[in-house]
Amino acid sequence: MAHLAVSDVRAKYGTLEVLKGVTFSIGKGEIATLVGPSGSGKSTVLRALMGLTPVTGGTVEIAGERMNYSSAREVRAARDRMAIVFQQYNLFQNMTVMQNLTLAPLKIKKWDKQQVNSEARRLLGLVGLSDKADAYSDQLSGGQQQRVALARALALKPQILLLDEVTSALDPELVNEVLDAIRKLADEGMTMVIVSHEMAFVREIADKVVFMDAGQIVEAGTPKEILDTPKTERARDFFSKILRH
């Protein structure tokens, strides 16, 4: 059974339909990557899943459970099951690293303080930032901030992790430290949907590659199928441009 099943999902910004019926699914522990040109709707898929962009049609199921986005409560139910990491990290700048990680588990979920703190320390170890627990975000490099954002998302124990171009804002030499952290998560069996332009990374980590253009899925398949032998002209054109260098 699919762990995440997205079926004919539609979304609009005003009158502009940015998702024109998107359908894909992944199993537990699998990793799907969304690729495609800018403006194709990749990020919007993740934002719609998190209820940041209003969903105007279609269905989303997580572990067989239907998610609705029609009320604030139902949106929160979706946010309980998924977590997102943004391109620009979006850390709370007035808080330390540790406070960023523990705020939601302590204040919103009201989980046990001792467990939250020890879990937060474990996650900081996982992303290699054990020594930065008391630093503020403006004292960290972009790569470090992004790893904090990753740990913060994980602190809520999501069933599915969404990563929205998490390395696009980083200096090239900082990209690998973030990718390494994602690799570790993959090894732990985390189910992930990743929007990325790092094609080598996509090829290495993805179970499924979904190529999008103009708010629709053009084709989907294994990394080998999509990256090496794309069937559609649109995908061939896109990959020939970006894989050349």
Is 132 an interacting residue with respect to other proteins (CB under 8 A)?
no
197 touches 170 (CB < 8 A) = no
Q: Rule CB under 8 A: choose which of 61, 80, 207, 219 binds other proteins.
A: 80
Strands 16-26 and 4-13: antiparallel
Does position 52 bind other proteins by CB under 8 A? yes
- Total residues contacting other proteins (rule CB under 8 A)? 25
Establish if 108 lies at the interface with other proteins (CB under 8 A).
yes
* The token pair that represents 150 in the structure block: 């990753």
Closer residue to other proteins, CB minimum distance, 90 or 117: 90
Which of 35, 91, 150, 210 binds other proteins (CB under 8 A)? It is 91
Asked if 68 touches other proteins (CB under 8 A), the answer is no
- Residues sharing a CB contact under 8 Å with residue 78, sequence separation 6 or more, in sequence order: 49, 50, 51, 60, 62, 67, 69
How far apart, in whole angstroms, are the C-alpha atoms of residue 140 and residue 150? 14
In sequence order, the β-bridge partners of residue 96 are: 136
Q: Work out whether 88 is an interface residue with other proteins (CB under 8 A).
A: yes
User: Residue 148: which H helix or E strand, with range?
Assistant: helix 142-154
Residue 190 in the binding site for other proteins (CB under 8 A): no
Judged by beta carbon, residue 50 or residue 214, the one nearer other proteins is 50
Give whichever of 40 and 100 is closer to other proteins, judged by the CB atom.
Answer: 100
Using rule CB under 8 A, residue 104 touches other proteins:
yes
Phi/psi for 135 (5° steps) reads: -80, 155
Does the protein bind other proteins through residue 169 (CB under 8 A)? no
| Window of 34-42, 76-84, 176-184, 223-231 that interacts with other proteins by CB under 8 A | 76-84
Buried b (16+ CB within 10 A) or exposed e, 94-124: eebbbbbbbebbbeeeebeeeebbebbbebb
Kindly state whether residue 103 participates in binding other proteins, applying the rule CB under 8 A: yes
Does residue number 98 form part of the binding site for other proteins (CB under 8 A)? no
The Cα 134–Cα 142 span in angstroms is 17
Tally of CB atoms within 10 A around 219: 16
Residue ranges that bind other proteins, judged by CB under 8 A = 50-52, 72, 76, 79-80, 83-84, 86, 88, 90-95, 103-104, 107-109, 136, 152, 156
